[in-house]
Chains A and B, each alone.
Chain A
Amino acid sequence: MKKSALLAAVCVPAFLAAAPLAAKTLVYCSEGSPENFYPGVNTTGTSFDASTQIYSRVVEFERGGTQVQPGLAEKWDISEDGKVYTFHLRKGVKWHSNKNFKPTRDMNADDIVFMFERQWKQDNPYFKVTSPNHSYFDDMGMPKLLKSVEKVDPYTVKVTLNQPEAPFLADLAMEFAAVQSKEYADAMLKAGTPEKIDQEPIGTGPFYLVQYQKDATIRYKAFPEYYGGKAKIDDLVFAITPDASVRWAKLQKGECHVMPYPNPADLEAMKKDPNVTVLEQAGLNVGYLAYNTQKKPFDDVRVRKALNMAMNKKAIVDAVYLSSGVPAKNPIPPSMWSYNDAVKDDPFDPEAAKKLLAEAGYPNGFETDLWAMPVQRPYNPNGKRVAELMQADLAKIGVKAEIKTYEWGEYRKRLQAGESQMGQMGWTGDNGDPDNFLHTLLGCDSAKGVSGSNIAKFCYKPFDDLVTKAKVTSDQKQRTELYKQAQVIFKEQAPWFTVAHAVQLKPVRKEVVDFKLSPFGRHTFYGVDIKGK
């Protein structure tokens, strides 16, 4: 029998291509292997996508949006002063199990406390397991923000903050706050293999991990006891396919149903394919050119304004981003709440720019550097090309810009240290809160020192007052007003030339039902169905 099979394989390869699809299996052609299955120490979307199917969080982002909704916590109370959060946990939430471990209890307050302490307390036995670098926990300011995390009873957790922080709830919906089983952690610690909890994970999420083969596949099955009800699909497979053209070939052939990060060059064909829909959404990101506001001549707002008017944004976006970007006028993307659409962008007007430059004392222009991003990002697909276009525009008003670049790690470090005069950078939002852009990238706090993410070193009191006030106000309406004003000041002060927001494009096969684009760029498959199977 098998001999004949071999013969058939050699003679009739056509026969091989069509393997039957099992009932309700969704195949996602992912772009790479995850680092591990513990999002607390990860920073890449690839790793987050792999683990987000497995875990639940205290609160969750709504599917396809940035609003926060109940997760493992059914409800919560916030104290008057905005400093004490009391979470009331859902009862009867089941853990997955695997060959190493069978849970004996449901999820409870111990697990939530463990989630915090693993990333927060250096003496926690798990603090250094897998990696001691809890990037997001640290970046969201948790170590300074948290005063105490207490278990009140098995289903109530009280978190006390040092100061009020409006984005705190949104932070807890982020990937780093995935809740792991304390019982599993204790068991693995006892067995001397603590890192197992991050390699063979157990969660309370809609899918459990069946098998992970590095660089090949990640297999999940729907968890029948998921607290939100079983997923509509039965099996979820990540077919790891690093090359974008190959992902597209697989999608065309029906070897996968959803693919991320298409080649811009393939988009035309994708849109024409009758079996494929290309979903589109402006992502939570921004690409920009930061002027170092503490260095001459960019300490003069007139110079910054002049340069903003000298560069042809539309031409840059058309030439470099093709259909994968839209011109940006504000530092936050249009899909984010509090986006101020009334703000007018600086017009492209080289004559006016020249005049303004002369007013500022540079009638003949000046010489400057212009740092080009060495890596490709959705918000900046080709840093060098963007820099060249900028350079050409600036030359027309007499500004001689010398393009510089470094290896990525070095590049970022030097920018943060304030070495550049003009530098390209970008940002992808973490928690859907405007604070994450306006305060993180433009507040005085992050302009200090040599490693803050405010690379324009922009510290302007009227602006900073607004974003700091918004940070401690819990009323969303008030916060919206404050952020809108902040965007007006941003435009007047022009610490950046805002370039573009990348548009998320996701080719999906027609048989996939109800796949929603995540503004965070995540790929989640709970709630997704497959037609006709």
Chain B
Amino acid sequence: MLRFILTRLSLIIPTFIGITLVAFFLIRLVPGDPIETMAGERGIDAARHEQLKKDFGLDRPLIVQYGYYIERVLHGDLGKSIVTRETVLNEFQSLFPATVELALCAIIFALLVGIPAGIIAAVRRNSIFDHGVMGISLTGYSMPIFWWGLILILLFSVQLGWTPVSGRIDVLYYIEPVTGFLLIDSWFSEDEGAFLSAVGHLILPTIVLGTQPLATIARMTRSAMLEVLGEDYIRTAKAKGLSRFRVIFLHALRNALIPVVTVIGLQIGVLFTGAILTETIFSWPGIGKWLIEAIFRRDYPVLQGGLLLVGAIVMSVNLLVDLTYGFINPRIRHNR
């Protein structure tokens, strides 16, 4: 097991270097620079432009800038935003909990609905339920997030008035961030209504962000289950007279879950991408929106630092998934 973990860990270093390279050079390929963008319509005269470039260290050759950047990263310094002058780490810390809260709710929603739907669809193969689940999940998978979000807002918030339109909590509740996770902070706040409001604000974004992973997970669970249910050992189990429940949940599901876990791991990346749009529609103060804005404003330090941190998180989650395989299926950890 240790060797398995070490092998996986050793892959992290080249991936990390790859991310820094991509984050650093890709944004610099985009025309325009942060100083031009800051100046807006007004423009900026050439001398001042040069001076500012110097102040921000953008006048040095790219490779030198990259060297400095890596050096700072190794010292744990991700730099300061060119636009706000806040440190990248501070901004990340203040926004990240919002993204995690939403992503967790979305993935829990996707699992709670997706796995049972997949199992039932597999067990009742070719039934109306099966066709229904597959049809709906295909629709869910191909739904443009922006459109889906607006439709839900128009229906549930504006027409029916069941849910709030956007934001994380009603603006009238004044919650001082402690953990940054509003569900937790509002739970411990004096205000009873604050927690309710936070939950209410989570409903629509959770559904919107969870829809695509849900569809993927449901389809994956169904096909994995179908495959396992056709195996000899399941037939043997059935022949031994085990209850249908034991066969499905104890014997079949555990093996069927392996590909599903892989997919769940991959969904983390999908969640981050989806978060960009979901956060914009629901005015959700998370890192997706933060990164998009950094691209528009050519805020190099934010983009580099943000991508690096997101990259690190996605890698950690995938490592965790790899380790989970080993746990679920011993064959993987012994496979040298």
Contacts and interface: CB of A to CB of B under 8 A. Distances in A.
Given A9-B200, A253-B165, A407-B32, A416 B43 contact: yes
B278 to A, nearest CB: 11
Contact of A214 (B41, B48, B95): B95
Interface residues of B, number: 69
A213 B31 contact: no
Given A6-B199, A241-B283, A413 B43 contact: yes
A213 B94 contact: yes
A14 interface: yes
A242 B283 contact: yes
Contacts of B187: 2
Contact of A216 (B55, B168, B195): B168
A214 B32 CA distance: 25
Interface string A131-158: 1110110110000000000000000000
A33 to B, nearest CB: 8
- Most chain A Cβ neighbours within 10 Å, of B48, B160, B166, B281: B166
Given A135-B39, A242-B283, A413-B43, A17 B158 contact: no
Contacts of A451: 43-46
B108 interface: no
Nearest to A416: B43
A478 interface: no
A214 B91 contact: yes
Contacts of B30: 407
A43 B91 contact: no
Contact of B35 (A44, A133, A136): A133
Interface bracket on A: 35 or more
Interface string B8-35: 0000000000000000000000111101
Interface in B157-177: 157-158, 160-168, 170-174, 176-177
Contacts of A427: 41
Contacts of B167: 216-217, 239, 241, 255
Interface stretch (A244-252, A481-489, A513-521): A244-252
Nearest to B86: A199
A428 B41 contact: yes
Given A242-B289, A252-B158, A215 B48 contact: no
B290 interface: yes
A105 B30 CA distance: 49
B283 A243 contact: yes
Contacts of A377: 41
B42 A246 contact: no
Interface in A3-34: 5-6, 8-10, 13-22, 25, 27, 32-33
Contacts of A20: 172
A16 B194 CA distance: 10
Interface in B281-336: 281-286, 289-290, 293
Contacts of A1: 192
A128 B203 contact: no
Contacts of B244: none
B31 A426 contact: no
B40 A44 contact: yes
A412 B41 contact: yes
Given A133-B35, A249-B157, 19 more contacts: A5-B192, A9-B195, A9-B196, A9-B199, A13-B203, A14-B161, A14-B162, A16-B200, A17-B161, A17-B163, A21-B172, A132-B52, A133-B38, A139-B42, A239-B283, A249-B153, A253-B164, A255-B166, A416-B43
